[in-house]
Amino acid sequence: MADMIQVTYRDALKEAMREAMKRDENVVIMGEEVGVWGGTYAVTRGLYDEFGGRRVIDTPIAEMGIIGVATGAAMGGMKPIAEIMTINFALVAMDQIINNTAKIHSMFGGTMRAPVVIRTAAGWGQLAATHSQSFEAWFAHVPGLIVVMPSTPYDAKGLLTTAMYSQNPVVFIEHSRLYGEKGQVPQGEFRVPFGVADVKRDGKDLTIVTYSRMVHVALNAANELAKENINVEIVDLRSLRPIDWETVYNSIRKTHRALVLTEDWMTYGISAEVAARIGYETFDYLDAPVERLTQLEVPLPYASNLEKLSFPDEAKVMQQVKAMLA
C-alpha cells in the first residue's frame, strides 16, 4: 500500500473528490456554497480554484432542485456529487432522493442508472432542534440506496472513492464534529468496500456495535474500561446499507454481549434494526439481553448543558458496559 500520511477527515474527503475529478471529467460537485465559499465545513475548499466554476457549481438554496438536477445529470451519463449542507436539509429533498434517485433503476426495470453521490453532514453544536438531527435511519430504510457513515479519515477517503466508482446512488453521511479528526491515510487512490464493517478494537467481554462519531466515544470509553480489566470489542459498521452482519455476529459469538451505540434516537432507529438482528441471529450465544445507548428522545435543546445530556458520552458508555457485565 502507498505511503501513509497524517490528514484530517476533512482533507481525506477532499482528496477523494480531487482524485475523482482529476480522473474523470464527468465528475462535478454541486451544492450550496461548495464553490467560492469553499464549503461551509471547508470540505471543498480549494477545489473551485483548481477546477473552476464549471465543475464546482454553486447552486441556489434549493435542495430538491440540487438532488433532482444531479440525478437527471447522472441519468445523462455524468457522475455528480450533490452536497446537501447538513442532513437536516435533506428532508426538503426527500421526495427526490426516495422517489427518484433510489427508484430510477428498479422502477424502470434496470434500464436506467442514477449514480449520484449525495454528500451530507450529520452533527450538532448548540444548533438547536432543526439543525442537529441524525437521520441516517431514514435513508438506510430504503431499498435502492447505499448509505455509509465513516468514522475515520481512512474510512472517509476509502468509502468516498468507492462511491465515486459506484454505479449506484450513495448517501454519504459525514459528521461535522469529525472534520478535524486526524488519522493515517494512504496517499493516492484506495477503496474501502461498501458493506464491510471494521473491528476498531479487539476485546472479549462485550461488543459495542456503532458507527461515525460514536466510534470515538466507544474507543475512549473502552480504553478507560481496560484499566479495570474490562475488554470491549468495537465494531464500526461504516456501511449502514448494506450492513456487514457477519462481522457483527462473529464478534458477539465471541463476547456474548452486545451494546448498540448510536447518535440517533432509539425508537425505530438504527439501533432498533441492529439489536433485532443480533437478538435473532446470535440468540444462542447471548449471555445478556442486547442493550442500546442512543440519543435521548427529545428535540435537541440549545442550552449547552441540556444538549450534552442528550447524547451518549464516555461516562454513559462505561456505566452501561459495567452494568451489563455486573
Partner 1 sequence: MTTAVAKKVSVATSPSLEISRETALHWLEQMMLIRRFEEAAEYAYTQKKVGGFLHLYIGEESIAVGAVAAMHPDDDIFTHYRDHGWVLARGVDPKPAMAELYGKATGLVKGKGGSMHFASVKHHMWGGYAIVGGHIPLAAGMAFSHQYLKRDRIAFCVMGEGATNIGMFHEALNMAALWKLPVVFLIENNMFGMGTAVDRASAVANIYEKASAYRMPATRIDGNDIELVYTTIQEYVNRARSGEGPQMVEAMTYRFKGHSMGDPQRYRTKEEVENRRPDDPLNRWEKKLIERGWADDALIKETFTRVDKQVAEAVQFAEDSPFPDPSELYTDILVEE
Partner 2 sequence: MSTNVTMPSMGFDMTEGKVSRWINKVGDAVERGQVIGEIETEKATVDLEAPVAGTLAQILVQVGETVPVSTPIAVITAAGESVSAPASPAPAEAKKESPPPAAPAQAQPHASVASVAPTVSTNGERIKVSPLAKNIARAEGIDLAALHGTGPNGRIIERDVKAFLQTRAPSAPPSTSPAQAAPMPKPSPAAVLTTAPVSTSPAQTPAQLVAGEQPLSKMRQVIARRLQESKSTIPHFYLTIEIFMDEAMKLRAQLNALAANDAEKLSVNDLIVAACARTLQKFPAVNAYFKGDKLEMHDVINVGIAVSVDDGLLTPVLHNADKKSLKQIAIETKELAARARANKMKPDDLGPGTFTVSNLGMYGIDEFSAIINPPESSILAVGAVKKVPVVINDQIQIAQVMKATLSVDHRIVDGALGAEYLQELKKLLENPVNLLLAY
**Distance between CA 280 and CA 153 in Å, rounded?**
33
Residues that bind partner 2 (rule: CB under 8 A) add up to a total of: 18
H-helix segments, the chain: 9-23, 47-51, 63-75, 94-95, 104-107, 136-140, 153-165, 213-226, 245-255, 270-281, 304-310, 314-325
Q: Does 167 bind partner 1 (CB under 8 A)?
A: yes
**Distance between CA 97 and CA 65 in Å, rounded?**
11
From 71-79, 217-225, 282-290, 299-307, span contacting partner 1 (CB under 8 A):
71-79
From 5-13, 67-75, 148-156, 279-287, span contacting partner 1 (CB under 8 A):
67-75
Residue with cell 437521520: 135
Strands 198-201 vs 232-236: parallel, antiparallel or unpaired: antiparallel
How many C-beta atoms surround the C-beta of residue 136 within 10 A?
Answer: 25
H-helix segments, 121-269: 136-140, 153-165, 213-226, 245-255
Q: Read off the C-alpha cell for 205.
A: 467481554
User: Active-site residue numbers?
Assistant: 63, 131
Shortest separation between residue 308's beta carbon and partner 1, angstroms: 37
Per-residue burial over 272-293, b = 16 or more CB atoms within 10 Å of its CB, e = otherwise: bbbbebbeeebeebbeeebbbb
Query: Is the CB of 10 or the CB of 105 nearer to partner 1?
Result: 105
Among 256, 266, 301, 314, indicate the residue that binds partner 2 (CB under 8 A): 256
Q: Does 246 bind partner 2 (CB under 8 A)?
A: yes
Phi, psi of 124 (to 5 degrees): -160, 170
Among 245, 266, 301, 314, indicate the residue that binds partner 2 (CB under 8 A): 245
Q: Does 112 bind partner 1 (CB under 8 A)?
A: yes
Among 40, 45, 46, 75, indicate the residue that binds partner 1 (CB under 8 A): 75
Residues 6 or more apart whose Cβ sits within 8 Å of residue 289: 279
Among 20, 117, 146, 318, indicate the residue that binds partner 1 (CB under 8 A): 146
Spell out, one character per residue from 98 to 137, where the chain touches partner 2: x when CB under 8 A holds, - when not: ----------------------------------------
Strand partners, 197: none
From 48-56, 96-104, 127-135, 279-287, span contacting partner 2 (CB under 8 A):
279-287
**Distance between CA 164 and CA 252 in Å, rounded?**
33
Which amino acid is located at 209 in the chain? V
Among 18, 94, 288, 314, indicate the residue that binds partner 2 (CB under 8 A): 288
Residues that bind partner 1 (rule: CB under 8 A) add up to a total of: 40
CB 204, CB 254: distance < 8 Å: yes
From 4-12, 76-84, 183-191, 216-224, span contacting partner 1 (CB under 8 A):
76-84
Spell out, one character per residue from 22 to 41, where the chain touches partner 1: x when CB under 8 A holds, - when not: ----x-x-------------
From 40-48, 126-134, 200-208, 281-289, span contacting partner 2 (CB under 8 A):
281-289
Among 13, 21, 47, 69, indicate the residue that binds partner 1 (CB under 8 A): 69
Q: Which of partner 1, partner 2, none sits in contact with 1, Cβ below 5 to 8 A by type?
A: none
Integer-rounded Cα radius of gyration of the chain: 20
Shortest separation between residue 164's beta carbon and partner 2, angstroms: 28
Q: Does 196 bind partner 1 (CB under 8 A)?
A: no
Q: Read off the C-alpha cell for 297.
A: 428522545
Residues that bind partner 1 (CB under 8 A): 26, 28, 54, 59-60, 62, 64-65, 67-78, 95-96, 99-100, 105-113, 115, 143-144, 146, 166-168
